[in-house]
């Protein structure tokens, strides 16, 4: 696991955008796994800037989003479909046919989840998966107690997640209780996982995920089992890490060979 600590949110976002841009220069038809939440907004802004000012090309890119609330149509301003369009897709030249965000209105959720997994397989698997981390240590909506081998499925949200996400809704009772989410097992099959976290509020959770034991109680800790993970943090989110100085030294002294 490579841990990169940047001074602030803007630097964290730029570093993440650079990693994605480098992948697209190397592989223009890369398959990107994308995340929602407030964390990746700066990353998406930077990608939009790179598209507009530097010609970063998304025309052959295929995308799969991690999750979606059940019961919210794509037109709902708090749906993840809406979020992705509003923060990224409408500003770049991605082909809408190549975009996949789970359908929160699917009639048969189980069938939909199987189809979603098949589509990821058909696309050749996810090359790079962007991840945030929830206050309770979840990745996507894999709440504490999720199997570390789980696949795309319906998940019931915890009270903590509902309270965390209530800030985006008019009131707490409007936050959906259920979501469709890629499983931890699905995420671990991505070629490269790129997790971002910022702010002091996330420091304790980040420490548990990176330096704590691998446990289904903090599903982000499963990333420790993946051979290629990059974690990019701002200083406040990194503030509780035991090996903070070591990670910084490693990053600043990369051998040139």
**What distance in Å separates the CA atoms of residue 223 and residue 199, rounded to the nearest whole number?**
20
Q: Which residues lie near ligand GLP (CB under 6 A)?
A: 35-39, 66-67, 132-134, 140-141, 161, 165
- For the chain, how big is the Rg over CA atoms in Å? 17
**What distance in Å separates the CA atoms of residue 164 and residue 161, rounded to the nearest whole number?**
5
Q: Minimum CB separation from ligand GLP for residue 168, in Å?
A: 8
Q: Minimum CB separation from ligand GLP for residue 133, in Å?
A: 6
Q: Minimum CB separation from ligand GLP for residue 175, in Å?
A: 10
Distances (CA, A) of 244 to 24, 98, 204: 30, 39, 13
- Burial letters 18-31, b for 16+ CB under 10 A, else e: ebbbebbeeeeebb
Which residues, in sequence order, are bridge partners of residue 99? 63
Catalytic residue among 15, 100, 117, 138: 138
**What distance in Å separates the CA atoms of residue 72 and residue 179, rounded to the nearest whole number?**
10
Catalytic residue among 15, 46, 51, 67: 67
67 is an active site residue: yes
138 is an active site residue: yes
Q: Minimum CB separation from ligand GLP for residue 185, in Å?
A: 16
Q: Minimum CB separation from ligand GLP for residue 69, in Å?
A: 9
Q: Which is nearer to ligand GLP, 60 or 204 (CB)?
A: 204
Q: Which is nearer to ligand GLP, 167 or 254 (CB)?
A: 167
Q: Which is nearer to ligand GLP, 51 or 155 (CB)?
A: 155
Q: Which is nearer to ligand GLP, 3 or 57 (CB)?
A: 3
192 is an active site residue: no
**Burial of 253 per CB tally in 10 Å (0-12, 13-18, 19+):** exposed
- Residue 201 tokens read as 């509020």
136 is an active site residue: yes
Q: Which is nearer to ligand GLP, 27 or 178 (CB)?
A: 178
The residues that are catalytic are: 67, 136, 138, 143
């Amino acid at each position: 696991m490579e841990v990169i600590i940047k001074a602030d949110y803007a630097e964290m976002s730029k570093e993440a955008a650079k990693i994605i841009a480098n992948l697209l220069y190397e592989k223009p038809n890369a398959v990107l796994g994308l995340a929602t939440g407030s964390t990746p907004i700066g990353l998406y802004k930077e990608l939009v800037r790179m598209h507009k000012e530097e010609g970063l090309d998304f025309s052959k890119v295929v995308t799969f989003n991690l999750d979606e609330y059940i019961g919210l149509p794509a037109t709902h301003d708090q749906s993840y479909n809406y979020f992705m369009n509003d923060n990224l897709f409408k500003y770049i030249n991605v082909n809408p046919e190549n975009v996949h965000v789970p359908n929160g209105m699917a009639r048969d959720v189980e069938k939909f989840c199987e189809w979603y997994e098949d589509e990821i397989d058909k696309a050749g698997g996810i090359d790079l998966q962007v991840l945030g981390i929830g206050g309770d240590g979840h990745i996507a909506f894999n709440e504490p107690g999720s199997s570390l081998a789980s696949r795309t499925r319906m998940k019931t949200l915890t009270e903590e997640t509902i309270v965390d996400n209530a800030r985006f809704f008019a009131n707490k009772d409007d936050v959906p209780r259920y979501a469709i989410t890629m499983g931890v097992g699905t995420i671990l099959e991505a070629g490269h996982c790129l997790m971002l976290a910022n702010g002091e509020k996330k420091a304790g959770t980040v420490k548990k995920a990176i330096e704590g034991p691998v446990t289904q109680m903090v599903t982000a800790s499963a990333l420790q089992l993946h051979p290629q993970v990059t974690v990019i943090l701002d200083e406040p989110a990194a503030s509780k890490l035991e090996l903070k100085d070591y990670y910084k030294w490693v990053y600043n002294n990369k051998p040139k060979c």
